[in-house]
């Protein structure tokens, strides 16, 4: 497959209705008038291949050695699978314990000392869930060497990542603290997408 441009990625996201406008509650707790729902893109395997091949190409060009790909459930399960396929690596995922809400590696998946892990996400805003997955993997002896994602929409509130990040597209969506949100003040109804629980919704 030839190199994919960021413009092509944007077109694929628009065509699959993954780029949304409205009033959204983000998993970080902040509000935004824009949202990327990557699950809409991932409905279409060929579109997902096109978009994620841009990330895979960057990783290959970097020369970073990877032994496994891991994504946090639920949003990154399909991302992990497709990146594993593109890079010809084992693809696994972490998931939350329903009782403690802690991220865990389950289902017989394993990592060990010597594993060099590429973490993948659908979209990254603050990087907090990424770092939860990093802790799980590093506590088991693996080394996280890079992060790959469909959309990099990090804000000034994002954590500093101790490894390189590769994305298919960078999105600059303004976001607001709940008590400063102009959409709330205008009375716009709020919508929550994604798989994380939120109080009051």
Residue 198 confidence (pLDDT): 37
User: What pTM, to 2 d.p., does this model score?
Assistant: 0.84
Instruction: Render the burial of 161-180: b for 16+ CB within 10 Å, e for the rest.
Output: beeebbbbbebebebbeeee
Give the DSSP per-residue string, 132-143.
HHHHHHHHTT-E
Residue 156 confidence (pLDDT): 65
Residues of the chain with pLDDT under 70: 1-2, 156-157, 194-201
Residue 200 confidence (pLDDT): 33
200: left (phi over 0), alpha (psi -120 to 50) or beta: left
Residue 157 confidence (pLDDT): 64
- pLDDT, tens only, 53-98: 999 999 999 999 999 999 998 889 999 999 999 999 999 999 998 8
Residue 2 confidence (pLDDT): 63
From the list 37, 75, 62, 77, the residue with the least C-alpha distance to 145 is 62
Which domains, and CATH codes, for the chain? 6-192 (3.40.50.2020)
Residue 197 confidence (pLDDT): 45
Residue 28 confidence (pLDDT): 72
From the list 50, 103, 98, the residue with the least C-alpha distance to 76 is 103
């Amino acid at each position: 497959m030839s190199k994919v441009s960021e413009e092509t990625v944007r077109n694929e996201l628009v065509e699959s209705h993954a780029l949304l406008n409205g009033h959204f509650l983000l998993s970080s707790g902040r509000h935004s008038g824009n949202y990327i729902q990557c699950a809409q893109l991932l409905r279409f395997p060929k579109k997902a291949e096109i978009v994620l091949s841009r990330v895979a190409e960057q990783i290959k060009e970097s020369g970073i050695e990877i032994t496994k790909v891991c994504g946090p459930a639920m949003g990154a399960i399909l991302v992990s699978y497709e990146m594993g396929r593109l890079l010809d690596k084992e693809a696994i995922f972490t998931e939350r314990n329903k009782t403690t809400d802690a991220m865990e590696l389950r289902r017989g998946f394993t990592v060990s000392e010597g594993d060099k892990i590429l973490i993948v996400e659908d979209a990254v805003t603050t990087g907090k869930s990424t770092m939860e997955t990093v802790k799980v993997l590093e506590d088991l002896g693996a080394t996280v060497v890079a992060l790959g994602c469909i959309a990099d929409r990090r804000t000034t509130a994002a954590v500093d990542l101790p490894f390189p990040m590769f994305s298919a597209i960078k999105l600059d969506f303004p976001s607001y603290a709940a008590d400063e949100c102009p959409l709330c003040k205008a009375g716009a109804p709020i919508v929550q997408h994604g798989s994380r629980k939120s109080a009051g919704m």
